[in-house]
A and B are shown apart, each in its own frame.
Chain A
Amino acid sequence: MSYYTIPIGPQHPAIKEAFQFNFVLDGEVIVDVKPRFGFVHRGIEKAMELRTWVQGIFLAERICGICNVPHTTCYCLAVEKVYGIDVPERAKYLRIIINELNRIHSHLLWIGVLGMELGFHTVFMYVWRDRERVMDLVEMISGNRVTPSMNCIGGVVYDITPEMEPIIKRNLDYLEERTKYYKKVLMEDPSLKARTEGVGVLSKDKALDLCAVGPTARASDVKSDVRFDDPYTLYDEIDFNMVTYSTCDVWGRAMVRVDETIESIKAIRHALEKMRPGPINVKVKRIPPIGEATARVEAPRGELLHYVKSDGKEVPYRAKMRTPTLANIPALCEMLKGHYIADIPAIVASIDPCYCCTERLMFTDIGNGKSWIWSYDELRRYSLKYYGLGV
């Protein structure tokens, strides 16, 4: 039995960023997948240690072009925990609004990308045309279409004036109507359903075992969403639902994202109603107290984690990010086995990969040129030893 290895990446039309999958094939059927990444390593965690706390917000924003608002929100939440301050209520609602706008734009982008991977360019063009409305709304609120830079340590910097609210509501109504139309297309179009149903199956046990996050897990009937499990910035006061599907395939993930877009539109409307006038940020000192904190938010792709540690200087001692795509890669490798080459773009696109966010810690001994990674047990033992919690 001779197997055939095809490398997809780092340059390939199906993969938007530099990433390499080595597929071991038996004819057209995939037997094994070996991912290899590190092509987009930019040294952001090290660069964070050289910039002040406020400059770090802008660096965190540029980790990812699509999910930049969750990155800044998470970083600011972690730093505010170190400071021990609480932001004003209006700032919390504004953070919800801008986060949900970012989620809508990211999910609409993804629907278009799914259409393009499957050769359905019409869906791509229509959805990205409607996505322009979201970008125009973000530009109206904050001044930039892609990187709003709205968070600061202590709140937000831009406010929504009463003149903006009818414009926002009008555009949200239009978006809701179009998203319901795309949901209808996804549920009824025979060629889309033929390409996405039963493809890339990830059963519930495997999803829990491999720690899948975000819509990838929620399509396998795993009820995990940071906005509901661990609410931050007043998500527990907003009235919207968690979306899960139990079909466990690419179609399920598409439906989860479309439904989440509709839920986000509802959440923004509710937040706009509940907002009361007030201050939008508090002043903080330049140098935070000594301490460390972790914060997690629900990025459009899943659970995002930021950890910062301060030792009383004006630059952080350590900042660490764990992005959701990294958590979904083992699940992706499991999903691909047993399918055809023709399914690769659909399955890889279904976890909504954002490779520029993905980083991994690897030890390299420059002296003798060896490199190795730690397993889970070794990591656990090291952390217990570090915190002095016994052997």
Chain B
Amino acid sequence: MDPLIFILRILIFPGILFLLFLAFIFEWVDRKAYARFQNRIGPLYAGPSGILQPLADFIKLMAKEDITPKYVDSIFFNNIPILAVVIPLFASLYIPLDGSPILIPFEGDIVLLLTLMTIYTIFVFIAGWASTNRFSIVGATRAILQFLAYEIPMFISAASVVMYVGSTSVTIISQNQLIPLALLQPIGFIVFITALQAELERIPFDIPEAESEIVAGWLTEYCGPKLAFLRLAEDLKLVFGSALATALFLGGGSGPILPPIVWFILKMLFIVLLSSYIRSLFARLRIDQMVSGCWRILIPLSILQFVLSRFLGVGFRWL
């Protein structure tokens, strides 16, 4: 491919700028939907119907004073926000937003994407630990405990998709779904969405950042531009998570009439709205309830789905 087009694709569309744009739009959609579920208005004044509110929040935080407390581990403390933004951005480049991904796909890139998410959680722990604040340390340890619980069902439900389609490349999985796998593998879809909610640290699983208990968890000591980047990283994780769920379960960009990118974004919006709906329905679970619930309910369900897909979908190759 022409190197210039390649670089433009990485930087602008559907690359970094487009992903940042999507991050702000999805945060707006999430906040508006969450507010409407609660009979409120949501963002209203920044731009038409509040659409510029996430950007306004980002700019406001960037303009604040950048404070590094005295006793923190400054190498980790100062650099984690940048790494936290880079990981979802890099991972999203492997997902075929407009039919083909930006970076060259290869067999096994689903493992790469899920591992990148694991590394993100390690960074969350390091951020909380480096803050040397009592509340941050509690938040960091809770993040690791939660990670032990949701990571396995997520991997196993992704593996059942791989087992059904017969390929470990996200591109191939998303292009080979005549019927979306959410309908063929409903148990796996529900397990994946639940584990996604835990990975994105949203209610009912926002335990590492529980606002009413430990102030702000692992984010407590961050302020100003570093906090702006961490919040942007959360939004980018939402974009990446919904993109991965769409590619794996909802059939990627396939659909009649409209171009693939439009279908992809519509499906991602569906996942985001589903996530906001779940967010407004539940109370926050306690960490031991979450871990025991995952091990007692989600993991057996995902293993069941894996077994079913092995015996019902065996031999379906993508050719």
Cα(A13)–Cα(B209), bound, Å: 12
Cα(A148)–Cα(B31), bound, Å: 37
Residue in contact with A118 in the complex, picked from B37, B214, B281, B284, CB distance below 8 Å? B284
- Cβ–Cβ contact B285 & A195, under 8 A: yes
Cα(A204)–Cα(B212), bound, Å: 29
Provide the residues of chain B in CB contact with A340, threshold 8 Å.
Answer: 286-288
The verdict on A122 contacting B215 (CB below 8 Å), with A191-B285, A192-B283 known, is: no
Residue in contact with A119 in the complex, picked from B38, B210, B287, CB distance below 8 Å? B210
Cβ of B260 under 8 Å from chain A: no
Provide the residues of chain B in CB contact with A344, threshold 8 Å.
Answer: 213
Provide the residues of chain A in CB contact with B138, threshold 8 Å.
Answer: 28, 341
Cα(A14)–Cα(B135), bound, Å: 13
- Cβ–Cβ contact B283 & A343, under 8 A: no
Provide the residues of chain B in CB contact with A119, threshold 8 Å.
Answer: 203-204, 206, 210-212, 283-284
- Cβ–Cβ contact A129 & B283, under 8 A: no
- Cβ–Cβ contact A191 & B215, under 8 A: no
The verdict on A6 contacting B283 (CB below 8 Å), with A119-B204, A125-B38 known, is: no
Cβ of A121 under 8 Å from chain B: yes
Binary B-proximity of A131-156 (CB < 8 A = 1, otherwise 0): 00000000000000000000000000
Binary B-proximity of A112-129 (CB < 8 A = 1, otherwise 0): 000111111110011001
Cα(A262)–Cα(B44), bound, Å: 37
Cα(A390)–Cα(B213), bound, Å: 52
- Cβ–Cβ contact A120 & B286, under 8 A: no
- Cβ–Cβ contact B283 & A118, under 8 A: yes
Cα(A195)–Cα(B39), bound, Å: 25
- Bin chain A's interface residue count: 20 to 34
A132 to chain B, nearest CB (A): 12
The verdict on A121 contacting B213 (CB below 8 Å), with A191-B204, A194-B285 known, is: no
Residue in contact with B287 in the complex, picked from A118, A121, A342, CB distance below 8 Å? A342
- Cβ–Cβ contact B286 & A125, under 8 A: no
Provide the residues of chain B in CB contact with A342, threshold 8 Å.
Answer: 207, 210, 213, 286-287
Chain B contact residue count (CB 8 A cutoff): 26
B88 to chain A, nearest CB (A): 24
Contact residues of B between 157 and 189, Cβ < 8 Å to A: none
Cβ of A169 under 8 Å from chain B: no
Cβ of A330 under 8 Å from chain B: no
Provide the residues of chain A in CB contact with B38, threshold 8 Å.
Answer: 121-122, 125-126
Residue in contact with B283 in the complex, picked from A14, A115, A125, A341, CB distance below 8 Å? A115
**Most A-side CB within 10 Å, residue of B134, B214, B284, B286:** B286
Residue of B nearest to A12 (CB): B215
Residue in contact with A14 in the complex, picked from B40, B203, B213, B281, CB distance below 8 Å? B213
The verdict on A125 contacting B213 (CB below 8 Å), with A119-B283, A194-B285, A340-B286 known, is: no
Residue in contact with B213 in the complex, picked from A120, A129, A345, CB distance below 8 Å? A345
- Cβ–Cβ contact B37 & A14, under 8 A: no
The verdict on A6 contacting B134 (CB below 8 Å), with A119-B212, A122-B280, A191-B283 known, is: yes
Provide the residues of chain B in CB contact with A345, threshold 8 Å.
Answer: 212-213
**Most B-side CB within 10 Å, residue of A14, A118, A192:** A118
Cα(A189)–Cα(B281), bound, Å: 9
Provide the residues of chain A in CB contact with B285, threshold 8 Å.
Answer: 191, 194-195
The verdict on A129 contacting B211 (CB below 8 Å), with A118-B284, A119-B203, A120-B284 known, is: no
Contact residues of A between 174 and 203, Cβ < 8 Å to B: 189, 191-192, 194-195
Q: List 27 A-B contacts (CB under 8 A).
A: A4-B134, A13-B211, A13-B215, A116-B212, A119-B211, A120-B283, A120-B284, A121-B38, A121-B203, A122-B37, A122-B38, A122-B280, A122-B281, A129-B39, A191-B204, A191-B282, A191-B285, A194-B285, A194-B286, A195-B283, A195-B286, A340-B286, A340-B288, A341-B214, A342-B213, A342-B287, A343-B286
Known A-B contacts: A122-B281, A194-B283. Give 5 more (CB < 8 A): A13-B215, A117-B212, A119-B210, A126-B39, A195-B286
Chain B residues in the interface with A (C-beta under 8 A): 37-40, 134, 138, 203-204, 206-207, 210-215, 280-289
